[in-house]
Amino acid sequence: MLEKRPLIIDCDPGVDDAQCIMMVKGSGLFDIRGITPVHGNVPLEKTKANALFLNHYYGIDAPVAVGAEEAMIARLERAEMAHGKSGLGSFEYSLDGLEYSDMKAWDFIWEEAQKWKGELELLAIGPLTNIAILVLKHPEVVDLVKRFVIMGGGATRGNHTQLGEFNIWQDPHAAEIVFKAGFKDFYMVDLDACATAYLTLSDQDEVLEHAKKTSIGALFENFAEFRKEMMKYRKMPAELIKYFLEHYSPPDAAAAAVIIDPSICEYVDKYVTVDCNGVLTAGQTVVDWFGFTGSPNMHVVRRLDRERYVKLYLDCLDSYREVQ
């Protein structure tokens, strides 16, 4: 049995990506083999810089292999309104002395998958462009990934359009390639599932109190202030703003919880495809609830155990406590 589980994180940091990566590292369960940034929440120039910074800031110091700059077909708007122009709120940092891997993301993942002979796990929390290129270039990779968890999709709704969840909507063609590739033990942590893994106002206060005692407290204090400021300008009814402030559910953190401990969630096995062409439905993840179109291709996560999630979040954060 492996002492630590080998894992690659494919991401587009992103405030919630930063929390997800914190949890994965803080769990102590993984040998993080690399981080592969992709375009998404902000342009690749910024997501790759954020990935390189977080890799160092959290003490991971794994290779950062840069991926795709754009979606496979069309570039769409980013999500600076939720993550700030840099992607990490208003947090400032330096990359002095830090360097990227000279490999492309998809080649790096393929090399690691071969090296680990079926033990490698994969966590994708951004648009799936890197993974689609990996599948097209190295289709055999699906047999070498032990577990694959994505944050993406919406079984009943969207968050960027009426039916399009942002990560899938950003590159629906890539998502459709990945969904049909044949990955084993494939978890889709969608918007409905993420909504069950939330932090109440008291939880959020507790997170800040814990964060202040760690080496990464400055980043999490910045996120909390940025979020309060950002919510002042969101164009939605006041009651919704109040709800989201009181039920904070950073989506990628839910995906972290699932890959750390899959028993934290309940799921159903269904066949899921992606609408790439609809006028109103482009980017929608279409779940075949009644088995009309094919055998299940993934575990569709329906809910997480919220109490266990909050404890896990705090435990992972506490792993960064500074030695007094």
Domain-embedded: residue 205: yes
- Structure-token match 């993301």, residue found: 105
Strand partners, 270: 298
Task: Assign 86 a pLDDT band (cuts: 50, 70, 90).
Answer: confident
Q: What is the pLDDT of residue 324?
A: 38
Give me the CATH number covering residue 216.
3.90.245.10
What is the number of domains present in the chain?
1
Domain-embedded: residue 175: yes
Range of the domain at 128: 5-318
Please list, in sequence order, all residues whose beta carbon lies within 8 angstroms of the beta carbon of residue 170, skipping any fewer than 6 positions away. 39, 40, 71, 76, 126, 127, 283
Domain-embedded: residue 323: no
Domain-embedded: residue 231: yes
How many degrees, rounded to 5, is the angle at CA 61 between CA 55 and CA 63? 90
Task: Assign 280 a pLDDT band (cuts: 50, 70, 90).
Answer: confident
Q: What is the pTM of this model?
A: 0.95
Return the biggest CA–CA distance within the chain. 59
For the stretch 229-279, pLDDT in tens is 776 666 677 787 788 788 999 999 999 999 999 999 999 999 999 999 888
